[in-house]
Amino acid sequence: MRSPFAYAATDLAPSNRADTSKRVALEVVDKRRTIVEAIDRTQLFAALPPEARVFLAERAEIRRYKQGELVGSQGTGRGAMFCVVSGRLRGIKYSPEGRRLIYMHLDPGQWAGFYWAEDDGTAVMDTEAAEPSVCVLIAGDVLAIAGRRWPALYERLYRELLRRTRPLYGVMELCVAHPLRVRVALTLLNLLETHQRETPTGIRLDISVSQSELAAMSFCSRQHLNKVLRVWASQGIVDNVGPKEILVKNVDALRQEARQSGFAG
């Protein structure tokens, strides 16, 4: 009896088979190039010897995620480190009341997954695709083998974890010791650093961020965020606050709000 899998290849005309083979070969080359570039371009792996980077690249994989799809779930065991190739990811936790709190955004070229890729602990937060995204993944088991062969990888991971953990103390201070408008100002300024577009009337946030998402990033409710934005709109600091767009008309005033925290220069 003929295998049903055979039809996919043998029922094609010879020219179609050749075109399909060529297309598949090109896709393999593109995936390989994407993985190698993601590994070679990050400081985390750049200092490793070439054979270590080849080891990681040969065992990495590419995955695509739909908007809202989970890349990793809080409480799950050893998973993978991942690099954003295209799109955008966000790290999320939930309050006891179920309110979403966004701890981070990951843009193309950024890596995450350090905490739950290497030890026997669990993921510290959910990570989901904020928009359709493509990621390079390196499994935790692969990282463990690479770390034993090339201990410099552990040193790099250790330094990166220190760099990422330190700002969490700032987040705790902001939530405890500073008013909401300071947190919102810092959130907007951080987003504008990498996502801004100059317009004749001000600086537009050049990514789609809903007010619910902005509230989650500022660790507040949408209702409290709206109060801050309304005051700023009356003062000419922000304007045109649509469902998913914000125009900053007075960046200096926003920086002045943020300086109250000591986290903005």
3-state DSSP assignment of residue 2: coil
Please tell me the CATH code under which domain 178-259 is placed: 1.10.10.10
Q: Which CATH architecture has domain 14-174?
A: Sandwich (2.60)
3-state DSSP assignment of residue 220: coil
Question: Over its length of 265 residues, how does the chain's per-residue pLDDT go in tens digits?
Answer: 322 222 233 333 344 444 433 343 445 557 888 888 888 888 888 889 999 999 999 999 999 999 999 887 776 665 788 889 999 898 888 877 777 778 778 888 888 876 544 556 667 788 889 899 999 999 888 988 998 999 999 888 888 888 877 877 777 787 778 888 888 998 888 888 878 888 888 888 877 777 888 888 888 888 888 899 989 989 999 886 666 678 888 889 888 888 876 665 5
Contact 225, 215 (CB under 8 A): yes
Scanning the structure block, which residue is given the tokens 């590419």? 62
Within 99-207, strands assigned E span: 100-106, 111-112, 126-129, 133-139, 196-199, 202-205
3-state DSSP assignment of residue 167: helix
Separation of alpha carbons 128 and 164, rounded Å = 19
Residue extents of the structural domains in the chain: 14-174, 178-259
